[in-house]
Structure 1
């Protein structure tokens, strides 16, 4: 068994906690014996466990300690065999390892719960976004299908032949929705922009991305025509007349 697998899967800790199968324990034990780096890390892990045991040890009350000394001094108690000392130490170490194992399991459960909370938050945000998109799309469809809505087709000229955009104008609700997917895709440094002609003045209505089915634009009162031009990416504050590609009168 290689070092990488042992370290990534925490097999040193499981080896110390006796959580491995007999075959895995034998493989990890051989790896520790043959790899000085692993052996040193395992020894450091043992030292950390011992330090944790000492740091978490509880001193007995003073009166208990004094009473035990009096009883030992007033009797012929023999020295406790080392076997019992080893047994007591083993039990203490086992308790410590069990506590460490439980602590790791608790931390793992806490991390999993936090991850689930984050996933729930992300899903809720996506659901809210979908709901907003649905409401917006539903509103646009109602506008398009309303009896007061006028559909206007803007055919492309020689700059973009065989192309078209459809504008849905509702003067009652003062709304303009445009489907620009019939226009050819432009390079990244260009974009389509729509303008309203009011008494000879071109007023910006907004950009026309071709990757969206319906785009809501600014409604302009008393517009005499709708015009589409090709502008630099991000739009322009005035229309580029020589790049007028489509228009329709109202």
Structure 2
């Protein structure tokens, strides 16, 4: 592996963290001996990792901290060595060639590596928590959608049953039909009235009227002995609507009234549709 491959592969970072194999360690140290200019890069990596680790480190309880540091010292020196002035002097005398500074730096590297691993673990847990939260939100959304679908199904079922009843009335031999024609104000307006005297049911269907302006609403009138009788308000959102059954009606009309219906006993607005039973 040449120098560019060593640098680009992240081997220097692994070397600083102390997680390289023996072969990789030899390659890095050979690179540093033959190309001293890379030593500054290694130092920068070490400082960056240590700075990141110490900035994100969490102060552990005293007992845990002492136990961890003791284990780190064992890993670095091969045994636990009290870090007093005399012990440092004895350590250098007992192990000639051993650099106490290097040992302490190595120990510090282990602390930094442990802190980095801890930070990565926290980040991983945060990511997993977010994924879990997203999954829970998705489940909640699906449950809400299922609930809404069930409600829509019930509404559609009720509408279907109502439509079947209305069709049954229209197909009944006793049901009669009347056509309402548009007045000059709306010559293309159109509607059909169906009624069944035996069942006392009346329906307005196939209504084609201009959209009612804001604050206005169409009202249906039954004409009995020449006088208008309220037969209900017309809902333009429906294709077929059941209206009041009025005995003795000889004609029907639809007028445009204030929203909620005419305040009087007859139309106050313009009549748009008229139809006679005769």
Unaligned runs of 5+ in 1: 1-42
Tell me, yes or no, if the aligned pair for 1:176 and 1:218 is still in contact at 8 Å: yes
Tell me, yes or no, if the aligned pair for 2:223 and 2:251 is still in contact at 8 Å: yes
Counterpart of 1:111 (choices 112, 127, 137) is 137
1:154 maps onto 2:180 in alignment: yes
The 3 A distance-change label for structure 1 pair 93 and 210 is closer
Tell me, yes or no, if the aligned pair for 1:180 and 1:212 is still in contact at 8 Å: no
* SS in structure 1 of the partner of residue 247 of structure 2: coil
* SS in structure 2 of the partner of residue 181 of structure 1: strand
Cα RMSD of the aligned pairs, angstroms, is 3.7
C-alpha separation in 2, matches of 1:204 and 1:108: 57
Equivalent position of 1:36 in the other structure: none
The 3 A distance-change label for structure 1 pair 189 and 92 is closer
How far the C-alpha of 1:167 sits from its partner, in A, is 0.8
Equivalent position of 2:80 in the other structure: 77
Number of residues of Structure 1 aligned to a counterpart in Structure 2:
192
Unaligned runs of 5+ in 2: 1-50, 84-103
C-alpha separation in 2, matches of 1:58 and 1:168: 87
Tell me, yes or no, if the aligned pair for 1:163 and 1:184 is still in contact at 8 Å: yes
The 3 A distance-change label for structure 1 pair 162 and 109 is closer
* SS in structure 2 of the partner of residue 84 of structure 1: helix
The 3 A distance-change label for structure 1 pair 105 and 243 is closer
C-alpha separation in 2, matches of 1:77 and 1:229: 101
Counterpart of 2:170 (choices 144, 147, 157) is 144
Larger Rg: 2
Tell me, yes or no, if the aligned pair for 1:191 and 1:207 is still in contact at 8 Å: yes
Equivalent position of 1:248 in the other structure: 276
Instruction: Provide the TM-score with structure 1 as the length reference.
Output: 0.60
C-alpha separation in 2, matches of 1:242 and 1:84: 91
Equivalent position of 1:171 in the other structure: 197
How far the C-alpha of 1:147 sits from its partner, in A, is 1.4
How far the C-alpha of 1:198 sits from its partner, in A, is 4.0
Tell me, yes or no, if the aligned pair for 1:194 and 1:228 is still in contact at 8 Å: yes
C-alpha separation in 1, matches of 2:114 and 2:253: 91
C-alpha separation in 1, matches of 2:173 and 2:141: 50
How far the C-alpha of 1:96 sits from its partner, in A, is 2.1
C-alpha separation in 1, matches of 2:256 and 2:113: 87
Equivalent position of 1:193 in the other structure: 219
1:219 maps onto 2:222 in alignment: no
Tell me, yes or no, if the aligned pair for 1:231 and 1:239 is still in contact at 8 Å: no
1:89 maps onto 2:126 in alignment: no
C-alpha separation in 1, matches of 2:220 and 2:247: 15
Equivalent position of 1:239 in the other structure: 266
How far the C-alpha of 1:195 sits from its partner, in A, is 1.7
Equivalent position of 2:45 in the other structure: none
